[in-house]
Amino acid sequence: MSKIISSIVALILGAALISVAFASTGDKGYYYGAKSPEHLAQLAEKSLAKDPSGGTLLDTKKCHDDGSCGSVLSYFGAFNEALEKAGFKKRLKSVSEVPAYIRSLKVIERPYGKYEVSCIRPLGNDKYKVIMDCLEREFESGEDAWVDSETQGDFKIDLMIITSKCANVVYRRVALKLTVTGHKCDERGYELTANAWLRSQFPTELGQRVDTLIADANARESHDATHLGAYQTDAISRTLGKRLREEVKVRAPITADIEIRYTTVDSDGKVMVDSQTKRPVVHHVGVLHMKNGVGTFKFPDDPRSRIVGTVWPEMFISPAKSGDERRLRIFPKEWGEACAVHMHGIIP
């Protein structure tokens, strides 16, 4: 997929917690203090009941009191610009669709990276205009994102639409927390190739090394897949991958699917954990389809600044199980100057 798909977020900042610096000191938020998608959807419905055009502010008094100066019409225009920027096919056809669209969003914990956020700019005489590229910032601790998703081929793309603090629609993602180094790849893009091997086909010495690495991985404590250090060790892919491809050569005659994810980390580089499920927060990127023991996945964007998580079927004895899944993670430094990376799995 040659089209670069940007994630987009709408942010909500409670009035007492406002800490963003708008591009202009007179810029306003959409609605400070919205508690959930349902809450904001109800506000939009009440506003439309009074003014079906959507042009009336959600709460005129709050606009004067704390700068909550958004309207249903503001959301309608901003949502469609954000959807277009992200490469999504869907569009809202009228302001009447805004409440249902907001209500459909799912809630996730603080997303990863820096985003360009829109704002409401006063024009005078109680007139306001949406500015899509108003400011850049990261999500703060405790901010949730309200997310829309779209499946494009094998890719499920997350579009962050609204969060728990200020309800400003975010135009696009502009940066990631980890710095990307090295050249950009050509039209081929960035690829991840999975290789499956039969343990029974290994020469004695190679088999013994593989067994040792598997035993070490199984004994390693990952703290339910939240300790990143457990994944940055002498794994089979890092130590024996090239040798397997050059000496064993023949892959296992299997068909399998491997899920590709981005693992979400906080500003301290720690894996974020869902407060309800207690599982790592991840963003589904797509599925690698393996046939006759090999398969290649092409990323929809540049993955070199992300922690790429992969989940393998239970038939494998390596990668090791961590949490409740067989996981292998690929870190930014492992790409180097390459546009393609290999990973390896072992079955009995």
What is the tens place of the pLDDT at every residue in 311-339? 999 999 999 999 889 999 998 888 888 89
Q: How does pLDDT run along the chain (348 residues), one tens digit per residue?
A: 333 333 333 332 222 223 344 556 689 999 999 989 999 999 999 999 999 999 999 999 999 999 999 999 999 999 999 888 877 888 999 999 999 999 998 877 666 567 788 999 999 888 999 999 888 887 776 777 787 876 655 445 566 676 667 888 887 766 544 444 455 687 778 999 999 999 999 999 999 999 999 998 998 888 888 888 778 777 899 889 999 999 999 999 999 999 999 998 876 677 888 877 888 888 889 999 999 999 999 998 889 888 999 999 999 999 999 988 999 999 888 888 889 999 999 999
Which residues make Cβ contacts (< 8 Å) with residue 338, sequence separation at least 6? none
CB contact at 8 A, 104 and 159: no
Instruction: Estimate to the nearest angstrom the gap between the alpha carbon of 255 and the chain centroid.
Output: 27
Q: How many CB atoms lie within 10 A of CB 85?
A: 18
Q: How many CB atoms lie within 10 A of CB 100?
A: 12
Longest dimension (CA), the chain: 82
Residue type, 272: M
Query: For residue range 118-133, what is the model confidence (pLDDT) as tens digits?
Result: 999 999 888 999 999 8
231: DSSP letter:
G
Give 318's strand partners: 346
10 Å CB burial of residue 117 (0-12, 13-18, 19+) is: buried
- Tokens encoding 81: 């610009």
Residue 266 has phi, psi (to 5 degrees) of -90, -175
Separation between Cα atoms, residue 346 and residue 175, nearest integer Å: 36
Q: How many CB atoms lie within 10 A of CB 36?
A: 17
Q: For residue 72, what are the CA distances in angstroms to 51, 93, 117, 159, 240?
A: 10, 13, 17, 20, 57
Residue 215 has phi, psi (to 5 degrees) of -65, -40
Torsion of CA 273, 274, 279, 283, to 10 degrees: -90
Residue type, 228: L
83: left (phi over 0), alpha (psi -120 to 50) or beta: alpha
Separation between Cα atoms, residue 32 and residue 168, nearest integer Å: 9
CB contact at 8 A, 148 and 95: no
For the chain, domain boundaries:
10-175, 191-347
Nearest C-alpha neighbor of 248 from the set 196, 299, 285, 288 = 196
Instruction: Estimate to the nearest angstrom the gap between the alpha carbon of 98 and the chain centroid.
Output: 24
CB contact at 8 A, 348 and 330: no
Reduced DSSP (H G I as helix, E B as strand, rest coil) percent helix, strand, coil of the chain, to 5: 25, 35, 40
Instruction: Estimate to the nearest angstrom the gap between the alpha carbon of 148 and the chain centroid.
Output: 11
Tell me if residue 184 falls in helix, strand or coil.
coil
Give 160's strand partners: 147
Instruction: Estimate to the nearest angstrom the gap between the alpha carbon of 303 and the chain centroid.
Output: 11
Separation between Cα atoms, residue 133 and residue 135, nearest integer Å: 6
- Tokens encoding 170: 């975010």
